[in-house]
A and B are shown apart, each in its own frame.
Chain A
Amino acid sequence: MGQRTVAETIREISRKHLEENNGILLGECISAVGWVNNTVPNCKGIVELPMTDVAGAGIAVGAAMVGRRPIFVIRFQDFLSLNGSPLINYAAKSKDLHGWSTPIFIRALASEGLGPVHSGVLHSVFMHFPGFRVVSPMTPREYDKVWQEFMKYDDPMIVSEHRESFQNSEEMADVVNDTADITLFAISSPRFAVEEAAKMLLKKGITCNIVHIFRLKPFDVQERYLEPLRRSKLGLVIDASFEICGASRSIAYELTHASGYPVKALGLLDRTKCLCPPYQNKAPDTRQIYDTVRNILK
């Protein structure tokens, strides 16, 4: 049993950065309704941005350009479609163009079931552009690691958070079996469903390896990913963002090429996420993972 939740971890990292490291935290409506799911500390260094997404991101980038290593909070990832331009066109490019970096920690929160403009997961979009580190931590220790990575390097970092993880205090260990039929590589919120899906599949005689992924870019094809895949000779990458041109297919491609074994992808359908069932186009849940694996192994 872990001690801290993910939300507490984020809050403490932020507090330390702001109080001890001359950090700065910017965002819209930071102090409203529970301080962004109780992930933002009430301390010095908080800058309430006006409701001006593009300028707000530009201001945060400017603060990064003078070395404040800002934490920039985007309460819903869908807003990245507005906030994105200073991040993509400036923060991510400065190192390649000019030789100096724009280190900004972009906390982009995802949700599920909140309709078409509050349920998006956009990390795949940012994987496409050179210059970003893209991560999706779902446990307290993973969050600690990505923060250390941000402070160690100087790249802008997209942190694809998910509200489903905020109360989680457990770490998630990989599960590797000698005789597995398939290796499930899980990203973002589906990580909370994959274990249950594996249990359901076992009842049908299908043994699964489970590998948790939180570093999306740069994607380092580690032995931790390849070893279970060699055993199962088949893989499936499961992600909460759109499958087409998305993280699941991109990482499946990398793993296929590195291992020589087929790795499939499971993400969201190529369809707008809507408010009500059956149109929500939600992240793969236990049932969807179960059905997909059974279809693959037919």
Chain B
Amino acid sequence: MRLPNFNVQAEVAKQFSSKLSLTIFERMCKVRYFELGVIDAVNKKEITYPVYLCSGQEAVAAALSTEIRNYLIFAQHRAHDVYLTFGASPERLRDELLGLPTGTSQGRAGSNCLQYHENGISMFGHHGLIGENVPQGVGAALGSGKKTVCIFGDGAAEEDYVLAAIGFAVTYKLPVLFICIDNNLSILTPVEVRRSWSITKVVKAFGIPAIDVTDDPWTVLQHTRKLTQDLPAFINCYVCRNYWHVGIGIDDTPEWDRYQMVKEELIRLGHKETIQDIEEKIRNDMEKLWDRELLLKPLGK
């Protein structure tokens, strides 16, 4: 059920160390403030290529990144959050969005095709056909025997090849964690208009653990820890997308603001000053990253 507290246990955050909780928040901050820089750069026409923003959805990637660090990563087209929270270079991402040769794909691929293969991170680039990363991730797990995460959206969940690939992973008992980032929207068409069935129930019918949760990061982490003990497994995470499918536009106020909710929970747990410090530091870091003078130099402006 699509609610901000769906499947969230009372006091779940207390099951995790303060250090871990603050790390999750720090990574959420990183995405949020990086993307504020993107929006500013788009408004100033410094970024003229399409951007696929993650703000509003970043809690899931932040939680996952603390638990499944050595997995092969097959993320979807909207993956700034995965890229940044798993520790890939913000500078290289900024340059990719600007179309610079110092970008993570030399500026050739852009926002929806992010890859990163440094510092122990194996993130394979998406090429824009939604759900294509799922069979590829399954094939990579088959070919390498390595643990793999496939992250895709609720629209991709409807692609026949996504369902077939999950079925294949079940047959071959491959070590794949499937994560559906369910923002309820394919462009602007809600799930209930597109289908009458639940992806979680379908995956469960394949015979593997599958669960619906909201994007409370402690809840995501709790289930990730449990389900990764016996892969393959599937988690459908309800999230809210703050911006348009592509671009920086906004239609409505999101149903909930997870970023604010996490902040409030951390304040309740006694971390008010620490999270202010974290936010301040990340804000400063990202302002430097998007500093106009530095930024415009390589563009020759």
Contact = CB atoms under 8 A, between A and B. Distances in A.
**A and B bind:** yes
Nearest to B135: A58
B139 A65 contact: yes
Contacts of A85: 129, 132
A24 interface: yes
Interface string A259-274: 0000000000000000
A66 B144 contact: yes
Contacts of A86: 132, 135-136
A58 B135 CA distance: 5
Interface string A19-51: 000001000000000000000000000010110
A64 B124 CA distance: 12
B222 interface: no
B199 to A, nearest CB: 16
A98 interface: yes
A148 interface: no
A86 B127 CA distance: 10
Interface core residue of A61, A86, A89, A98 (most chain B CB under 10 Å): A98
A94 interface: yes
Contact of A54 (B113, B139, B161, B167): B161
Interface in A232-259: none
Nearest to A22: B143
B125 interface: yes
A96 interface: yes
A60 B135 CA distance: 8
A66 B164 contact: no
B127 A59 contact: no
A113 interface: no
A63 B143 contact: yes
Contact of B139 (A50, A61, A89, A98): A61
B108 A97 contact: yes
Contact of B127 (A54, A68, A97, A100): A97
A81 interface: no
A115 interface: no
B140 interface: yes
A54 B163 CA distance: 11
Q: Chain B interface: which size bin?
A: 35 or more
Contacts of B251: none
A116 interface: no
Contacts, number: 113
Contacts of A55: 134-135, 138, 160-162, 164-165, 168
Nearest to B126: A90
Contacts of A60: 139
Contacts of B140: 62-63, 65-66
Interface in B101-119: 105-106, 108-109, 113, 115, 117
Contact of B105 (A24, A50, A89, A97): A97
Contacts of B138: 55, 58-59, 62
A45 to B, nearest CB: 11
Contacts of B109: 97-98
A52 B168 contact: yes
A99 B143 contact: no
A75 interface: no
A169 B138 CA distance: 39
B108 A96 contact: yes
B105 A58 contact: no
Interface string B121-162: 000110111001011111111111010000000000000111
Contacts of A54: 135, 160-161, 164
B132 A90 contact: yes
Most chain-B CB neighbours within 10 Å: which of A58, A64, A68, A86? A58
Given A50-B168, A89-B129, A98 B105 contact: yes
Nearest to B116: A98
A96 B138 CA distance: 23
A58 B133 CA distance: 8
A212 interface: no
Contact of B125 (A49, A64, A98): A98
Contacts of A52: 160-161, 164-165, 167-168
Given A58-B165, A59-B142, A97-B113, 17 more contacts: A49-B168, A50-B167, A52-B168, A54-B164, A55-B168, A58-B134, A58-B135, A59-B135, A61-B139, A63-B142, A65-B139, A66-B143, A66-B144, A89-B128, A94-B127, A97-B127, A100-B117
